Chain A
């Protein structure tokens, strides 16, 4: 038990969870066919907002994290008015530019403490450990490991909630509009879908969850600086998304987990690690350009796990 629940493994779980939320936020804009690369910027806004609110205003952490997301969405509302009218690589470049603006602002503002960053951000592990200290005593666990364990659980719950929310959304009327816009903007518009409204909506959701991911990062790393939110971050997130399969919701979390855990497993290979990582990416794109999970794969899996009787009944219904 102790071997599995050591600090290192828990740390990898924490990073995986944050990366899942971040890559889902990239997936959310891809859902309406927008390739937005501003998510590192929104993550930064969320992280700094939450850190400053807890450190200087003394807000409870949960409230600060949500406010971090809301702040990122508010910024997205302003940025989105011009950018949701852009398409393809123009949108990608414009939003990437936005991310850099945020980074440079964070580098130069007093409240963000410039290049030194903010340190001593309240830690989620400590907060949760203190909250549940009685429970941890009963379980005979020290607050350090117990707190970390609780933090992992909290993050997993957040990830599950985000997945559940987006799954529900995709099944709804809004989700149908998103899918239609992604498939053919022109046809969607002619079918009476207000496309700018829905593209903006997906952009705001994306920014909100990127902000939440940033806030969670701030409270798990306990230290943030502008370099944490450079454009590498969003390229990574996009990579998770495309690697796992950018056309289905489950692709992003899968990609995020694999690409977060894999470099850790390859640690023994030392300097060959990055090379192997690169080769793997190239190979995947060559053999499965749609990513690991695609619509067809999910359908097949679904069929395999549906009892035969149900399948027969469904077939009868089709006729």
Chain B
């Protein structure tokens, strides 16, 4: 297992958003985490990144315990997060945003090669590389956020609601890119409200409800589950 969470309890102040969740992400796979608003999906991501520290439980990445490490150390270990709402640096150019993703790397040749890869994957970003991040459209900002995370050359890429607020045609593009990134060897943990799309591209899926994992299994099995169909996939198939 590349990433393993065991009985994680975490939250904010006196409110526990995660009430003992366990999940595992096998190397090379795409794992989707679906659920309604407030189920604890984003908190799970933040806990993995070290932005929220767990009260109980254990996180292991490549067999090493991760709980209690700082975000920059987690990035160093090889995990990158594309945060919900993208968090592009508005007053910096597209290229500066991308270089920021490679902050911890010092291999100039490798960074240049990866920058080229990002531009090949998102030609729109290359066209706009001198433009301020804040002037991009929503879809382009999402591409930039993904590009920035990839620039850290992570082994595990976490994506928090990458389709949020985007036009359907752009959503399809983003999902294609996610599959493509996975195809080049990066493991992916995806949080989505767009359950249909998330289940389509995933190998495994977890369904969360109010801080618990209520269902898990192969993505195709989860998608076939009548409860999931009723709750997340718009009724009968």
Task: List the B side residues contacting A188 at CB < 8 Å.
Answer: 100
How far, in whole Å, are A189 and B76 apart by their CA atoms in the complex?
Answer: 12
Q: Does A318 contact B (CB under 8 A)?
A: yes
Kindly state the interface size class of chain B when it binds its partner: 20 to 34
How far, in whole Å, are A83 and B51 apart by their CA atoms in the complex?
Answer: 20
Beta-carbon nearest neighbor of B152 in chain A: A192
Given contacts A187-B89, A191-B148, is CB(A176)–CB(B99) below 8 Å?
A: yes
Task: List the A side residues contacting B70 at CB < 8 Å.
Answer: 194
Residue-by-residue, is B79-112 near A (CB-CB < 8 Å gives 1, otherwise 0)? 0110100011111100010011101100000000
A193 near B103: Cβ-Cβ < 8 Å: yes
Q: Which of A145-194 contact B (CB under 8 A)?
A: 176-177, 179-180, 183-184, 186-194
B130 near A189: Cβ-Cβ < 8 Å: no
How far, in whole Å, are A220 and B76 apart by their CA atoms in the complex?
Answer: 49
How far, in whole Å, are A180 and B103 apart by their CA atoms in the complex?
Answer: 10
A179 near B148: Cβ-Cβ < 8 Å: no
Q: Which of A188, A192, A193, A295 has the most CB of B within 10 A?
A: A192
Kindly state the interface size class of chain A when it binds its partner: 10 to 19
Kindly identify which residue among B90, B100, B130 contacts A191, using a CB–CB cutoff of 8 Å.
B100
B71 near A192: Cβ-Cβ < 8 Å: yes
Q: Does B49 contact A (CB under 8 A)?
A: yes
Given contacts A176-B99, A176-B100, is CB(A190)–CB(B130) below 8 Å?
A: no
Beta-carbon nearest neighbor of B80 in chain A: A190
Kindly identify which residue among B72, B87, B101 contacts A186, using a CB–CB cutoff of 8 Å.
B87
B90 near A183: Cβ-Cβ < 8 Å: yes
A190 near B87: Cβ-Cβ < 8 Å: yes
Q: Which of B61-85 contact A (CB under 8 A)?
A: 70-72, 75-76, 80-81, 83
Measured CB to CB, the residues of B under 8 A from A are 49, 51, 70-72, 75-76, 80-81, 83, 87-92, 96, 99-101, 103-104, 130, 148, 152
Given A183-B89, A193-B100, 10 additional A-B pairs, CB 8 A:
A177-B103, A180-B103, A184-B89, A189-B72, A190-B51, A190-B81, A191-B100, A191-B101, A192-B104, A193-B103
| The 9 nearest A-B residue pairs measured at CB | A192-B75, A187-B87, A183-B89, A192-B104, A194-B72, A189-B71, A192-B72, A191-B100, A192-B103
